[in-house]
Amino acid sequence: MKQASELETFKTQINLVEYAQTQGYEIDLKKSSQNCIVLKDHLGDKILIGVDQKDGHYFYSSVKDDRDKGSIIDFIQKRRSLNLGEVRKELRPWVEGSYTATYKHSEAAPKPKPTTKDRHKIIAQFDSMKEIANHVYLNARGINRDTIESDRFNGTIYTDSRNNVIFPHRDREGICGYEIRNQQFKGFSEGGTKGLWHSTATTEDKRLVICESPIDCLSYYRFFDDGQTRYFATGGTLSENQKDLIRGAFEKIHKQGGQIVIATDRDEAGEKLALELAKFAPEGSQISREVPDYQKDWNEALIVALVEQQKTRERSRGPEL
């Protein structure tokens, strides 16, 4: 076997998930998805394993060290300090069929669904983020702790190592990108793609509200929470992938007999987006458009309402003695 082709065989034919298990790693079923298998060892190392859809190579990345990544070759050399010749000897039994496992698992090691390395990078980055209970940036935008901690928004608002607010976007395969927000910055994850940010959903939901931003969804919730509404945000203009996701979301609420509320911005761009969104609703849907009376979006409306509320409180107190 030629050396180059042998290495290629190692990278494509040996399930890195299974190999990692022989090295003491165990699968974290709660964190794993169909295209990203999460494993931990007893020393606290945590890795994510995927299959590159371009070349079929298994690859991994460490959550704790962004330099610790690569193929099964890199995985072995990083952890066991073997040279390339020793790695070949280690892996040949795996492709020749002579390797015998010294451990037994109740189920076969899963093979990740092929994905891009960019998506894998996004998943690795997101895995290091923490769900938040409160945040000064959100408070400044009128979003209080009760809203952030609501079951409706469980698993939808995070913070990164720089204390930015993170709103994850998901598609049918899971995390695909995330919005980044703070007082001075508004952006989207490098290498990520827009899916939809969305709240949790229940079978009791009677409405679906779709806005341009997660902040607007949270603001709308503060105005009109009824315990039976799910929320979606597009992050602006729509990609083809998002259109498909929106169709699916609209179909689900329609089947439950629910109403679709389009709550995009009160401006020309918001009106254009609203008309586009309405096209994805199933025939016969209950659909309406809701905008603030005067402000551009629901967050601006919330901030104005809170300021007026505070002024009313101060007037009701009367002059202080």
pLDDT of 106 above 60: no
Domain boundaries, the chain: 3-123, 131-312
Which pTM was predicted?
Answer: 0.86
Given this model, what pLDDT does residue 313 score?
82
Given this model, what pLDDT does residue 82 score?
94
Arch. (CATH architecture) of 131-312:
3-Layer(aba) Sandwich (3.40)
Quick one: average pLDDT of 62-78? 93
pLDDT in tens, 292-301: 999 999 999 9
Quick one: average pLDDT of 249-275? 97
Of 93, 69, 79, 65, the residue nearest 6 (C-alpha): 93
pLDDT of 284 above 80: yes
Given this model, what pLDDT does residue 295 score?
96
With DSSP H G I counted as helix, E B as strand and the rest as coil, what are the percentages for the chain, rounded to 5?
Answer: 40, 20, 40
In this predicted structure, which of 191-200, 257-266, 311-320 has the lowest mean pLDDT? 311-320
pLDDT in tens, 184-228: 899 999 999 999 999 999 999 999 999 999 999 999 999 999 999
Of 116, 112, 117, 125, the residue nearest 169 (C-alpha): 125
Average pLDDT of the chain to the nearest whole number: 93
Given this model, what pLDDT does residue 310 score?
87
Separation of CA 305 from chain center: 31
Given this model, what pLDDT does residue 105 score?
63
pLDDT in tens, 143-159: 999 999 999 999 999 99
Sole residue written with tokens 């060290």:
65
Quick one: average pLDDT of 84-90? 95
- Record the tokens describing residue 301, joined without a space: 């409306």
pLDDT of 11 above 50: yes
Quick one: average pLDDT of 228-234? 98
Of 124, 106, 108, 105, the residue nearest 50 (C-alpha): 124
pLDDT band at 20 (very low <50, low <70, confident <90, very high): very high
Q: By the 8 A CB rule, do 144 and 136 touch?
A: no
Quick one: average pLDDT of 85-114? 83
Given this model, what pLDDT does residue 320 score?
46
Given this model, what pLDDT does residue 236 score?
86
Q: Which residues pair with 175 in a beta bridge?
A: 170
Given this model, what pLDDT does residue 321 score?
37
pLDDT band at 66 (very low <50, low <70, confident <90, very high): confident
Given this model, what pLDDT does residue 319 score?
53
Could you please report the per-residue DSSP string of 12-71?
HHS-HHHHHHHTT-EE-TTT-BTTBEEEE-TTS-EEEEEEBTTT--EEEEESS-TTSEES
pLDDT of 99 above 60: yes
